[in-house]
Structure 1
């Protein structure tokens, strides 16, 4: 079989065949600020999810590196590649982490092969964590929270009540020809990578998919990642949020402190490179 024919094929670590039937597949888009990828890092690290396989694909730039979730000197020597799969059966959760950008013109083959795998593995739903350029918001999108969601029609029927209870804000459609005509509205996710393509393909194939995204800008995107993973946790309840008490006049108030409860992976120490050499000064 040619490499293109193998694009997106799941390869288990131990040669077995993990059962993902009824699982939620969580994955990032490679999008502005890498926010989805950073949020997925927090999920894998906090839940201590074991690696169960990888995707053999010619759609992503090849890469290899050390274990990004190392906890000891021994497991820091383990290697990681561009698309790896982690699983936690107790929560019926499977995670695909993507660590490199897409090769030009490979977006569509990747999306099609990924969705075929989702169908064959019988995952119950897919949740895509993404981001979009804050500076390209329209007037309506500037109001309120920078977090948005999208649901395919198939998933909307199943979870509409839950989402309404959360009081989340759906991603708005924007004018196809801004400043000329507001008659035609389209879904526009600038900086979102494969987000729009994967979502529209899922709609046409009847796949249960949700997109959770945050408007942001390039820079230090760690706060954006915490914001997005906390948004996800409101729905999936992956971790329990302990409450921190403090005295403010009377009575005693309790506030959630969610970000402190996610475990930052060891690889984040090198997120901005090493420090400046003292010899420079």
Structure 2
């Protein structure tokens, strides 16, 4: 089954052993904003689509260079590069969740990626006091192959494992939730399903979580993007750049509040 539709004669053999950054639509759209930053800062170009866009809410608009961008699963990178990024600009349709996850699974399975990193955001209302000092955590499968992959080794050594203390109303309760995989993830969208579908695959994978609240989440995205660059070992060589599409994203530059930045009454 064809799941990837390349543009400009892109050769999908370039995916072999490369790293795929996969954002999960979650609280504050922090993963999508992070993908924006990575695409712009690394000079990545759209090289294809996963699926026909029928699993997400219809959307189209103009990109930074005047091109048409969609809400579907767009893949960015450069032929022969070692990093590719998926961007999804509109939410997954509720009736298409299973189909959406299966589409991603088939794309990953047929592309021979060397590593898949899922980015997700979590509701900070579930954050404990200790995690206030550690805004990012890692999720690795119990039978993680991190010992054989340099980036996952770095992930394991850099970020603490996600620990959740969830009320008993939830299916994975208390501190024992760390023994359940994938764990319950508050406000993380389809992250659990994505981790579940990759759990039994031979492709090395893991997730990076970011605690946040809804508002001006550009700072959260900048912080998460820095974590990704550090894990990839290129943080000293890349200067993060905000895309043009962010202008006015969280309010006008000269807001009616009288401030010099975003409208503080709206976004704090």
Q: TM-score range by the shorter chain?
A: 0.7 to 0.9
Q: Give the aligned partner of residue 250 of structure 1.
A: none
Moved over 6 A (4+): none
For 2:187 and 2:220, locate their aligned partners in 1 and report how far apart those are by CA, in whole Å.
15
CA distances 1:109-167 after superposition (whole Å, capped 9, x unpaired)? 21122111111111111111110000123x4764531111112334334245433442x
CA distances 1:249-273 after superposition (whole Å, capped 9, x unpaired)? xxxxxxxxx8xx2011000003135
Q: Give the aligned partner of residue 52 of structure 1.
A: 47
**What CA RMSD, in Å, does the superposition of the two structures yield over aligned residues?**
2.7
Report whether the alignment pairs 1:163 with 2:155: yes
Report whether the alignment pairs 1:14 with 2:43: no
TM-aligned CA deviation for residue 207 of structure 1: 3.2
CA distances 1:159-183 after superposition (whole Å, capped 9, x unpaired)? 45433442x111125457279x748
Q: Give the aligned partner of residue 254 of structure 1.
A: none
Q: Give the aligned partner of residue 219 of structure 1.
A: 215
Q: Alignment partner of 2:203: what SS? A: coil
Give TM-score, length-normalised by structure 1: 0.77
CA distance 1:154–1:206, change in 2 (3 Å): farther
Q: Give the aligned partner of residue 246 of structure 1.
A: none
Which one has the bigger strand percentage?
A: 1
Q: Give the aligned partner of residue 250 of structure 2.
A: 272
Q: Give the aligned partner of residue 188 of structure 1.
A: 184
Q: Alignment partner of 2:94: what SS? A: coil
Q: Give the aligned partner of residue 21 of structure 2.
A: 26
CA distances 1:50-104 after superposition (whole Å, capped 9, x unpaired)? 111122232111111001xx2xxxx32x111112111134541111111000101
Aligned mate of 1:130, from 108, 116, 120:
120
Give 5+ residue unaligned stretches, structure 2.
257-268
Contact 2:115–2:205 (CA under 8 A) maintained in structure 1 = yes
Question: Across the two proteins, how many residue pairs are aligned to each other?
Answer: 244
Give TM-score, length-normalised by structure 2: 0.81
197-206 vs 47-56, which moves further? 197-206
Q: Give the aligned partner of residue 252 of structure 1.
A: none
Q: Give the aligned partner of residue 172 of structure 1.
A: 163
TM-aligned CA deviation for residue 200 of structure 1: 1.8
Q: Alignment partner of 1:116: what SS? A: helix
Contact 1:154–1:206 (CA under 8 A) maintained in structure 2 = no
Q: Give the aligned partner of residue 241 of structure 2.
A: 263
Report whether the alignment pairs 1:93 with 2:63: no
For 1:89 and 1:155, locate their aligned partners in 2 and report how far apart those are by CA, in whole Å.
27
